[in-house]
C-alpha cells in the first residue's frame, strides 16, 4: 500500500491511498530439449555405473546379474529419450512452462551419480553399500522419468514418442532388484506397488 499527496486544480492537496494487489508468480519456462538432453546423460551415466558394479561384483552371480540387467535397462531408457529428443528438436512447443524443481532434481541426481562413480573407482564398496547407493539413484531416476512424462504429455501427439509415456522399470528386473534389497534389509524411502509385488514372489 502506498500513500501519495496529490495537488488538485484548485490548489488543494489530498492524500491518495493506492492499494496494490499481490502480483502473480512469474511462470517458469524452459526448453524441454535441455531437460531431455540432461536426462539422456543421466541415464547413460547410470547404466555405466551399474555396469561397473556388475564387473566389481562378478564373483557374486546374483548381484552381478542384477547389476547387469539394471545397466541394460538404463541404456534402453537412454535410447528411448534419444528418439524423443529427435522428435522435438525443431518444435517451438518444446519451450514450455515447467516446474523449476525438475532441473534441480536433475542436478542432484547427476551429483549422486558422479559420487557413486568415484566410489566405485576408489573405494572397496560392500554389496550393501552398492545396493543402497543404487537404490537412491533408482528413486531419483524414477522421479526424473515421471517429471518428463508429465511435461512431455502436454505436447501435441506428433511431438511425442509414445514409448516415453510408457517408460518404466522392467517388472522382472525391478522385482529381482527389490527382492535382493528386501533380503538384505534395505528398503526404499517411498515403497511402490512393484515393491509389494516383489515381496510376494
**In whole angstroms, what is the distance from residue 125 CA to residue 56 CA?**
9
pLDDT at 187: 77
Q: Chain-wide mean pLDDT for the chain?
A: 77
CATH of 29-200 given 1.10.10, 1.20.1260, 2.30.29, 1.10.287? 1.20.1260
Q: At what angle do helices 101-122 and 127-152 cross, to 10 degrees?
A: 160
For the ranges 1-5, 93-97, 100-104, 178-182, the lowest mean pLDDT is seen at: 1-5
- Whole-model pTM: value is 0.74
The most confident of the ranges 1-15, 24-38, 187-201 is: 24-38
C-alpha angle 186/192/196, rounded to 5°?
A: 75
Higher pLDDT, 7 or 194: 7
Q: pLDDT band at 146, cuts 50/70/90? A: confident
Question: What is the DSSP track for 66-128?
Answer: HHHHHHHHHHHHHHHHHHHHHHHTT-GGGEEE--THHHHHHHHHHHHHHHHHHHHHHS---HH
Q: pLDDT band at 60, cuts 50/70/90? A: very high
Across 18-26, average pLDDT: 42
Instruction: Give domain limits for the chain.
Output: 29-200
pLDDT tens sequence across 111-126: 999 999 999 998 889 9
pLDDT at 174: 73
Structure-block grid coordinates of residue 148:
518428463
Q: Is the pLDDT of residue 76 over 50?
A: yes
Amino acid at each position: 500500500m502506498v500513500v501519495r499527496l496529490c495537488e488538485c486544480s484548485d490548489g488543494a492537496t489530498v492524500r491518495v491511498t493506492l492499494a496494490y494487489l499481490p502480483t502473480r508468480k512469474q511462470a517458469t519456462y524452459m526448453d524441454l530439449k535441455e531437460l531431455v538432453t540432461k536426462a539422456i546423460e543421466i541415464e547413460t551415466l547410470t547404466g555405466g555405473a551399474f555396469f561397473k558394479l556388475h564387473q566389481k561384483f562378478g564373483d557374486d552371480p546374483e548381484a552381478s546379474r542384477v547389476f547387469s540387467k539394471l545397466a541394460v535397462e538404463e541404456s534402453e531408457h537412454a535410447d528411448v529419450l534419444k528418439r524423443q529428443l529427435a522428435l522435438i528438436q525443431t518444435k517451438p512447443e518444446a519451450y514450455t512452462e515447467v516446474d523449476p524443481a525438475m532441473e534441480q532434481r536433475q542436478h542432484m541426481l547427476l551429483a549422486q551419480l558422479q559420487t557413486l562413480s568415484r566410489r566405485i573407482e576408489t573405494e572397496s564398496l560392500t554389496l550393501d553399500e552398492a545396493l543402497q547407493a543404487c537404490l537412491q539413484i533408482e528413486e531419483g531416476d524414477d522421479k526424473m522419468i515421471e517429471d518428463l512424462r508429465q511435461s512431455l504429455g502436454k505436447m501435441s501427439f506428433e511431438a511425442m514418442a509414445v514409448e516415453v509415456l510408457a517408460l518404466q522399470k522392467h517388472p522382472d528386473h525391478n522385482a529381482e532388484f527389490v527382492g535382493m534389497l528386501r533380503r538384505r534389509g534395505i528398503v526404499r524411502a517411498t515403497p511402490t506397488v512393484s515393491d509389494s509385488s516383489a515381496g510376494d514372489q
